Homo-oligomer: A and B are copies of this chain.
Amino acid sequence: MGAEDLFVGRLRALIADGGDQGAASGVRVGPGDDGAVVATSGRDMVATTDLLVEGVDFLPGGNLERLGRRAVSVNLSDAAAMGARPRWFLLSIVLPEGRGEEDALAICRGAIARGREFRASLAGGDLSRGPCLVLSVALWAELEAGPLTRGGGRPGDALYLTGFPGRAAAGLRVAKAARAGRDPGRVTPGDRELLDAYLDPEPRVAFSLALAAAGIAHAAIDVSDGLGIDAGRLAAASGARAVLERDRIPVSPSLDAWARREGEDALACVLAGGDDYELLFAAPEDAERDIARLAGPLPVTRVGRLEAGSGAFLRDGGSERAIERLGYDHFHREGRE
């Protein structure tokens, strides 16, 4: 029996471990055959995929279980942006020199645990060797309503945002500073919150399903590349222009405190920082109360609106500026690498 077959045996044990979802998962054939077999309901499905490359999409040397969680979370977030219920995922890993089966299993362990929290089962994957660690997740989700696409917004819709984006971009900088050995003693509770936002983002699955079922939202996108950029994408797909109101953009106290201390621009983190995975969606202005009811404890803020036209703009009092001209391009690139 080759190394690959032994790995599959250990992976299966991991899946069975701690409460197999069994028949309820719909996985009829799991890892170890040429493909997985899953039972579908006949509803439309959403397929998403995300690559995470060491040194580009994540910092080298971090905790591998958490990395596995994150790889699944970013796909769960894509499913949430479509209003779909996560069901199964495939996880492929490129292992570099010096990394072995234990490392792959640690990644799988985190991925399986994260999937389970959202009832999504690991169905299969692939392993290869290469010059750096790469994770590739493909996730399938089921549409019970919807889908929520980027393109359904219309002029007059309000734009709503979950949570507090910008924290992940700040968290990445906190992580880099810690790696560089700067100020190791200065990771405050607020900084810890920023780090967690970066390292272990929370996909908005439950809220998205409630939103899709209620039929309130016209369009949605997950904020993975910054609120300004992703608002522009939603607007472009909807054939409208997005206007964000500066006064309404939520800045978490942790981000605000970090930005003041470090001399950074908190608004830049929100508008152009990546890796947050909050939801931005277009819905009628008068739906605000219904949305708050669906969201429960999750904060949802009305941050702007769609208007006739094109582009993404920041309105600050009487003035309005194109977000792509605010000079955040370098920020975004820096934020990733």
Binds B, one of A32-40, A98-106, A246-254: A32-40
Report, as a range, how many residues of chain A touch the other chain: 35 or more
- Point out the residues of chain B lying under 8 angstroms from A110, CB to CB: none
Which A23-77 residues sit within 8 Å CB-CB of chain B?
28-29, 32-57, 77
Q: How many subunits of this chain does the assembly comprise?
A: 2
**In the bound complex, how far is the Cα of B134 from the Cα of A52, in angstroms?**
12
Whether the pair A44, B35 counts as a contact (CB closer than 8 A) is no
Q: Assuming the A-B contacts A5-B233, A94-B134, A229-B2, are A35 and B57 also in contact, with contact meaning beta carbons closer than 8 angstroms in the complex?
A: no
A149 interface residue, CB < 8 Å from B?
yes
Which A103-146 residues sit within 8 Å CB-CB of chain B?
123-132, 134, 136, 138, 140-141, 143
Chain B residue nearest in CB terms to A131: B131
**In the bound complex, how far is the Cα of B181 from the Cα of A225, in angstroms?**
46
- Point out the residues of chain B lying under 8 angstroms from A200, CB to CB: none
Q: Assuming the A-B contacts A32-B237, A34-B150, A34-B221, are A44 and B50 also in contact, with contact meaning beta carbons closer than 8 angstroms in the complex?
A: no
- Point out the residues of chain B lying under 8 angstroms from A149, CB to CB: 29, 33, 37
Instruction: Pick the residue among B37, B40, B134, B237 that contacts A130 (CB under 8 A).
Output: B134
A binding-site residues for B, Cβ under 8 Å: 1-2, 5, 28-29, 32-57, 77-79, 81-82, 84, 88, 90, 92-94, 123-132, 134, 136, 138, 140-141, 143, 147, 149-151, 220-222, 225, 229, 232-233, 236-237
